């Protein structure tokens, strides 16, 4: 059982294959566990000092964006034209305020831009050049697209040109948290599907699909087949199940069952409920994840 006086953090590094970077793009096993563990530990320290759930998920997501092991920010997968296009979203369960960005090519940390959208744009979702322009207005400096491309992803691109994007996995990172005041928040970020058509938008920047948070329900971040996740509005589905009385693990498992049974989708979710209970589920071979347990220790798993 969770201690209601303790904050809670959970993060994921994407659902996909075990130690199969050529297919999933998720990177080798050990760095994935280490990366999600570092992000969860940093966010947990912030929460333990009284930081907000929103601050915690932004910190965790930005750390994973900076880690080239993951398909988000630096090290994201490449589009069919050999560029990086980044998507991210963020939601505050206390106010239901949300922000998202999509198809951004010149920002190092799209989750920080999503926060600026949430806090000061008057909108929920900005895309492409409009998102880039708002980044400059918000004081977020331009970041060259080629600095987001790692040698590993460039090599994958060169080896895989001409293959169908729908047959090649992607990956996502995400974080959910509850703070000491009982508020929850969620964040999700991705480079999207490998060799995707330029301009493609998946679930990660869409509130209700890849990300959802409501203090009365739960905080959820999803990863996997973006188009299929959108079809079942997976994050909102799982949050609603917690609100209807399911435990966080039960809600996560049911959401993934629906994803698979209704639309043949593959992926995973992490969820933290208002009681502080964390849950995970996935129907892929692995989902890198880290979370704070009932004693406040950080645990990791694939």
The token duo for 17 is 């294959």
Beta bridge partners of 287: 15
pLDDT in tens, 238-263: 999 999 999 999 999 999 999 999 99
- Which fold does the domain 8-301 belong to in CATH? 3.60.20
Name the DSSP letter for residue 106: S
Beta pairing, strands 125-127 & 98-104: parallel
Domain-wise residue ranges, the chain: 8-301
Put residue 176 in one of left, alpha, beta given phi > 0 → left and psi -120 to 50 → alpha: beta
d(CA 30, CA 275): 31
Quick one: pLDDT band at residue 3, thresholds 50, 70, 90? low
pLDDT in tens, 100-110: 999 999 999 99
Quick one: pLDDT band at residue 92, thresholds 50, 70, 90? very high
How many Cα neighbours within 13 Å face the side chain of 218? 36
Q: Which of 221, 207, 199, 202 is closest to 272 using CA atoms?
A: 221
- Active-site positions? 172
Supply the pLDDT for residue 167.
45
């Amino acid at each position: 059982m969770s201690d209601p006086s303790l904050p809670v953090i959970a993060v994921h590094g994407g659902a996909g294959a075990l130690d199969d970077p050529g297919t999933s793009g998720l990177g080798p096993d050990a760095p994935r566990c280490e990366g999600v563990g570092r992000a969860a530990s940093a966010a947990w320290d912030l929460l333990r000092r009284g930081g907000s759930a929103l601050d915690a998920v932004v910190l965790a997501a930005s750390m994973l964006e900076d880690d080239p092991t993951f398909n988000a920010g630096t090290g994201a997968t490449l589009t069919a034209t050999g560029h990086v296009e980044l998507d991210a979203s963020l939601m505050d369960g206390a106010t239901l305020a949300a922000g998202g960005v999509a198809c951004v090519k010149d920002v190092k940390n799209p989750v920080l831009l999503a926060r600026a959208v949430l806090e000061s744009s008057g909108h929920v979702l900005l895309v492409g050049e409009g998102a880039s322009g708002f980044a400059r207005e918000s004081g977020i400096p331009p970041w060259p697209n080629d600095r987001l491309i790692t040698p590993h992803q460039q090599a994958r691109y060169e080896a895989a040109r001409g293959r169908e994007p729908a047959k090649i996995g992607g990956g996502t990172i995400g974080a959910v948290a509850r703070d000491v005041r009982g508020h929850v928040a969620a964040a999700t970020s991705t480079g999207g599907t490998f060799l995707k058509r330029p301009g493609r938008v998946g679930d990660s920047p869409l509130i209700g699909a890849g990300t959802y948070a409501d203090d009365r329900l739960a905080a959820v971040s999803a990863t996997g087949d973006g188009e299929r996740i959108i079809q079942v509005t997976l994050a909102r589905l799982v949050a609603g199940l917690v609100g209807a009385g399911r435990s966080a693990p039960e809600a996560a498992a049911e959401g993934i069952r629906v994803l698979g049974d209704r639309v043949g989708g593959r992926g995973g979710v992490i969820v933290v409920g208002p009681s502080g209970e964390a849950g995970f589920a996935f129907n892929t071979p692995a989902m890198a994840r880290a979370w704070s347990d009932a004693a406040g220790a950080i645990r990791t798993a694939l």
